[in-house]
Amino acid sequence: MNLIKITTLLPLLVIGLTACNGGGSSSPSNNAVAAPAATGRISGTVPGTVIEAYADNGQKYTVNSTNNGTARHPFSLDLPSGMGYRLVMITNEGTADEVVTPIGFLDSTGATQTRLQFQPGVVVDLGNIPLAMSRNAAAADDLNNDGVLDAPLVLDHAGANNPLTKTDADGDGVMDYSDQDHGSYAYANGINDPQDTDHDGVPNLYEDSDNDGQINKVDTDIDGDGVLNADDTDSNGDSDHDGLPNVIDADSATRIAFDNNRDGYLDDDLNHDGFHDDDSNRDGLHDDDLNKDGYHDDDGNRDGLHDDDVNKDGFHDDDLNHDGEHDNH
């Protein structure tokens, strides 16, 4: 049985090139990993940029644009279908002039959405995205000067392409731009977005929760109470010891994941949304994991399976319809 942490569950499907950041050359990585068949693709051009896609389950996918000697560097990034992603683009990464730009797009009501999902084989061309290349250029949209735009760059307003006009995540023949019932590009009422819990369009990692000028991604004390995140068990402990406090970590639980067929999804994630199928509140834990240790409460040997799962398919052996319940309940 393949036992792995979910933070490394999904492979990096498109390998990043050497950072462009407006200059320099790019070369392919020698560590390419074959992508699963069930993927979609985003592409476009940017002015020398790191492109990040954050999945519902906390996995990050990233690629660098390719310096082609023009002001429009192309990029292409393959992503497993069936999950939602939030896009972030970074210019001058790792320098004092770094600018982080969350990406948004409009739906038919005029509301800004930031979550993108697509079916297998769909290719979404975002067009050319004009990003700020310096802190000074971004100053009007980054009032606290933390290097992160205060709100998403709306592609419709920037002259780029709206991906919701090109995707039909639930396959009902209505493009996501106009489809209000599929629940794929926006969470239903009462469901928290694990990557953007305050729904402001900026992923939790790039917020500055204590307004100290350091974004959460690099802040060792994100609530500013003087207790390091790793030791701050009252408010923002780090349950999975990955360096990210629970309050901003989409993968905050000590999750143990099983992917025996190595398709990039949990064995009991038949709908491929990045969560256990018996995780109704999408907190990363099984619904019957009341002690929140990452295992079913009836998993005495902690092998990731119910104790009565003799055929080891991830479900009770008397759960023939795989709804997470015994059939006699």
Q: Which residues contact 130 (CB under 8 A, 6 or more apart)?
A: 47, 158, 159, 160
* 286 vs 297: CA distance, rounded Å: 9
Nearest to 301 by CA among 7, 1, 6: 1
Nearest to 23 by CA among 70, 87, 56: 70
pTM above 0.75, yes or no: no
- Could you give the 3-state DSSP secondary structure of residue 103? strand
Residue 72, pLDDT score: 96
Task: Work out the number of other CB atoms within 10 angstroms of the CB of residue 53.
Answer: 23
* 37 vs 82: CA distance, rounded Å: 12
Residue 56, pLDDT score: 77
* 148 vs 166: CA distance, rounded Å: 28
Q: Write the single-letter amino acid at 181.
A: D
Strand bridging mode 153-154 / 99-106: parallel
List per-residue pLDDT tens for the chain, 329 residues long: 333 333 322 322 232 333 344 333 222 222 233 334 478 899 999 998 999 998 877 778 999 999 999 999 999 999 988 778 999 999 999 899 999 999 999 999 998 999 898 888 899 999 999 999 999 999 999 998 899 999 999 999 999 999 999 998 888 889 999 987 655 565 554 556 667 877 888 988 898 888 888 888 888 888 888 888 777 765 566 655 666 676 676 655 444 456 666 555 677 777 776 677 887 776 667 888 887 666 788 888 777 788 888 887 777 888 887 776 788 75
* Domain layout of the chain by residue ranges: 1-191
Cβ proximity of 105 and 112 under 8 Å: yes
Q: Which residues contact 48 (CB under 8 A, 6 or more apart)?
A: 20, 21, 22, 23, 65, 67, 73, 91, 133
Residue 242, pLDDT score: 61
Looking from the CA of 325 toward its CB, the CA atoms found within 13 Å total: 5
Nearest to 168 by CA among 155, 160, 177, 159: 177
Angle (CA) 222 228 232, round 5°: 90
Tokens encoding 136:
């000074």
DSSP state of 51: E
Using alpha carbons, list the distances in angstroms from residue 281 to 117, 196, 200, 290: 19, 16, 21, 13
* 22 vs 131: CA distance, rounded Å: 11
Residue 10, pLDDT score: 30
Start-to-end CA span in the chain (Å): 29
* 263 vs 265: CA distance, rounded Å: 6
Tokens encoding 285:
């834990």
Cβ proximity of 33 and 9 under 8 Å: no
